Every structure is written in C-alpha cells, then in structure tokens.
A and B are shown apart, each in its own frame.
Chain A
Amino acid sequence: MTLKLSLLAALTALAMGCTHVAPYERGKLAHPTMTDELAGGPAADHVYAVHEGATGGGSIAESGCGCN
C-alpha cells in the first residue's frame, strides 16, 4: 500500500509539473552536471548494492555476485 501511494504521489507530482519546454530553452538542462556522469561510479554502485538489502533503479542487464 505504501508503494502504491508513493507511486501515485510521484506520478501526480510529475503530471502537475508538466510544462512544454522548447528546444531553444534547454540551455540549463544541457549543462554537463545535469547528466548522471558525476554520480557514483561502478565501485560505489557495487558497494551500495552489497550493503543494502534493496535493489532497483540500475541497469537492465546486471550480473549478480556472491558478495555478501
């Protein structure tokens, strides 16, 4: 139930925020820091995956490991 409510709230928030941004208005969105490149690298992803009992939000073709 908590998950459903969270999903509903997030979708609602997204829908409420929908505005049309023209291509020529996207200068800030194109800034290099807006990409995911500066997020944690593969080592950080791996450490979090091993230390947290939860998964998700990652790649579509992840291989497992016998890490914990």
Chain B
Amino acid sequence: MRKLVLAACAMVAGASSAWASDDTDPAEQSVARKDRGEQLAAERVAQTAKLDDNSTKRASFEVATYADSDHVTVFTPSIAASIENVVQGASLRGRYIIDVVSAASADVVSTASPRWNEVRNAGSLEATYKPKTFGVTLAGSLSSEPDYFSFGLGSEMTLDLNEKNTTLEAGFGYGHDEVGRCGAENSPAATVQTCTSFGVFSRVINRSSFNFGITQLLGAATVGAIVADIGIENGDSSKPYRYVPMFAADVAASAPLGASYAWVTANRLPERPLEQLPLSRNRLSVTGRLSHRFDGSTLKLEERVYGDNWALFASTTDARWIFDVGKRVGIWPHVRFHAQTAVSFWQRAYVSGPAPGWDLPVFRTGDRELGPLWSGTGGGGMYLYVGSDAEPQKARFTVQVDGMYTSFLDDLYLASRSGVLASLAFQVEL
C-alpha cells in the first residue's frame, strides 16, 4: 500500500513538472535540460566509481607467545589492517603490537633483583602510491616502554622495469631512540611507578639507514631478490642496568664457560662498573631471497650476511617449504640457522687493575648477543583457508610453532638457551 502511494505521488510530481516546464521560456528549458544532463552525468560517474571500488581491505589478528629456559616469557598480541587499490596503485597499512615481557633471566638474577615485568606498545603506518611503474612509500613507527621511547620515519622508492621482470628499490630511514631508566640503583626496571622521567635521565640514539635492492623474475616460477642495508647509529646504547663483573687477571683466565652466579660472586673484584659500549656503530648487511613455485609446493630461501665496525660478522639462513594439502590447507617445515663472531671488545671475563684506580677496560659488555654464538631454529606451520567455496583464501588461519636453541660460546652465567615461539593468526579480506 505504501509503495502504491509513493508511486502515485511520483507520477503526480512528474506530470506537474512536465506541465510546468512546458509553460516556461525555451531558454529556461534549455538551461534546465543542461542542469538535468549534468546531474545525470554526475550520478553516472558516482555509480561508476561505486562499481569500480576494487580496493581490497584486509584485517588480521595475531597472538604469539615465547618462553625460554632463561626464565623469560613474552606474550605478544597484534592487530593489523590494510586497504589496497591495485588499479589506482595506492595502499595503506597499519599495525599495532603489544609485548608483555616477564623475565627472571641470568641478567636479572645477577643483579639480585626480583622478576621483572614490562609492557611495550608499538605501532606502524605505511602508505604506498604506485600508479604505474614508479612508486613511493612513506612509513612511520612508534615504540614506547617505561624506560625506552623510539620513533622511526622512512621512505622508499621502487621502479618496475622490463614489464615488471625487474624491480629496483632504494630507501632511507631515520630513527630516534631515548633510553631511560626505571627501578632503583643496582637493579633492572621494576615498575612503571619508579621510572625516572626522561627529562631527568635519558640517552639519545640516532639511527639512519639506507637500503638498495633489486627483485628479478628468474623464470615463470622463480623470483629472486637481493637487498643491501646500511645502518649508521650514533649514541650510547649501553644498558643502564647492566653491570659487568671485573676479575683479577689470573682469575679471569680460569673463568669457566657459563660460570654460575655463585662462582662469579665468589671470584669477582669488588668493583662492578656499568656496561659501556662504543658511541657509534656502522652496519652493513646483504640479504638474498629466492622463492620457487613447484607443482604443489613453494620453497622460500633467505640468506643474510652481516658485518659492522664493532667486528661482529654474522650469517643467517632461513628456509621454508610450503606444501599444498588440498585446496584449503598448506603445511610447512621451517629451519633457521644463525652464527656470529664476537665484537672486538668482547671478553668472557674482563680484567681490571687493583684499587683504588681499578683501570677499567674502556669498553665492556655483558650482552650475550654481542658475543660469539650460534642458534638453530626448527619447527613448522600450517595455514587453513576458511573462506567461501568460490574464494576460500579470503579468510585464513595460520599457526606456527618453532623451537630455538642457542649456544653461547664464550659467556658467563649461560652456556645455552632453549626456547619455544608459537603464534596463531587470523586474516580476513573484507
């Protein structure tokens, strides 16, 4: 009934409009027709634009947890969203991540401190515009902890050549970190409430990075890429909580690998200075990636070689072989191997002179990741498409579990560490 009334009203309105226009001046009718034509054209453009809204919107959620034999646990939920329009060449991506860290590691125990808890919030935003063969990406990121604040800005340009068989990329990034301090003297961070204001105590680290890369199609099923990263850091990155034990020369020579906290306490000298690292660091890494699609599986390989002016050299190899198991499921094994040398000023046990001068080594550290080590990772993952029959890949669950083992080759407190990293992610295309 309501439709009938509306239809009748429309007919009456149309008839009266026609009658009215018949009674007007021809010049006015011409203007009215022109206005009506423009209106119709605008409506058509709007409808066309609506029909051509071929942007792809994605949202994802991931929750991950890490635990190791050094009594460190990390719980990491994150969300991400993106919108991408392939036709216009524009995309926007954002991510927000939280790290909830709880630690009673050797580093914490060696300072006679209780279990340490901390939350890190981090977000990033990235926009790309690539209408044809040339594209520009602008990116920004922010990270905040009670005793550490950091932001980064960057830009990258890409150029497609030879019908997209080759893509060149070049980028620049700048980062600014402020290192603060929480907790009482001689202890690591305790709680947010006891943190010293950044205005009272902070150290600044400025980071610049440059990257140059090339991606090349190597066949109808193979793509390779190589990228060089240069990093320049200026500032004092020494940990304000890390105290380095000092030893007499004869004791240092006999310090056993992985010496216990009790052994160190019984044999060290009274002086225990804070860590001191060099105030600048230049890094260079070259990363190569290769992906090949077989019939029913995809192999992905990555190799990174790294060197810096602290004399740390490293190699990292990562491999993942993804096997299709039906239309909706894929599984893969994953292995990763990392090995590195120590920085030039690394010592298992540092030697200092007698009191009162002590004659401390200029540079000293207890950061195990600056010492010689190797680590192996092994595990796997599975994806499950849960979208419609027509487009199953529009919604996906991914689960990954990796076991990690690290051997510290020349360290106090710890000779090895085992850990597990597990993650569950869900991504949907809206």
Contact = CB atoms under 8 A, between A and B. Distances in A.
B95 interface: yes
B236 interface: no
B14 to A, nearest CB: 51
Nearest to A16: B218
Interface SS majority for chain B:
strand
Contacts of B271: none
Contacts of B293: 28-29, 31, 33-34
Contacts of A64: 143, 148, 150, 152, 175, 177, 205, 207
B288 A43 contact: no
B383 A20 contact: no
A21 B220 CA distance: 6
Interface in A13-68: 13-14, 17-23, 25-29, 31-34, 37-44, 46-48, 50-68
Interface in B283-316: 283-288, 291, 293, 298, 300, 302, 304-307, 312-314, 316
A56 B162 contact: no
A26 to B, nearest CB: 7
B141 A56 contact: no
A46 B76 contact: yes
A57 B62 CA distance: 22
B78 A57 contact: no
A42 B320 contact: no
B6 to A, nearest CB: 48
A66 B287 CA distance: 25
B367 interface: yes
Contacts, number: 230
Contact of B140 (A18, A61, A67): A61
B26 interface: no
Nearest to A52: B338
Interface string B196-217: 0000000001010101001011
A22 B285 contact: no
Interface SS majority for chain A:
loop
Interface in B357-406: 367-370, 373, 375, 381, 383, 393, 398, 400, 402, 404, 406
B51 to A, nearest CB: 24
B145 interface: yes
Interface residues of A, number: 54
A42 B124 CA distance: 11
A13 B54 CA distance: 38
A44 B369 contact: no
A63 B231 contact: no
B412 interface: no
A67 B66 CA distance: 14
Contacts of A31: 293, 298
Given A46-B99, A60-B156, A53 B369 contact: yes
Contact of A61 (B139, B231, B320, B330): B139
A52 B340 contact: yes
Nearest to B369: A53
Contacts of B300: 39
A7 to B, nearest CB: 5
Contacts of A21: 165, 217, 219-220
A13 to B, nearest CB: 8
B220 to A, nearest CB: 5
27 contacts: A14-B214, A14-B216, A17-B224, A23-B163, A25-B220, A33-B293, A38-B322, A38-B332, A41-B425, A42-B62, A43-B78, A46-B97, A47-B421, A51-B369, A52-B369, A53-B314, A53-B369, A56-B304, A57-B302, A58-B229, A63-B142, A63-B151, A64-B152, A64-B205, A65-B122, A66-B179, A68-B239
Given A60-B156, A65-B145, 7 more contacts: A3-B284, A33-B330, A52-B375, A60-B137, A65-B99, A65-B148, A68-B367
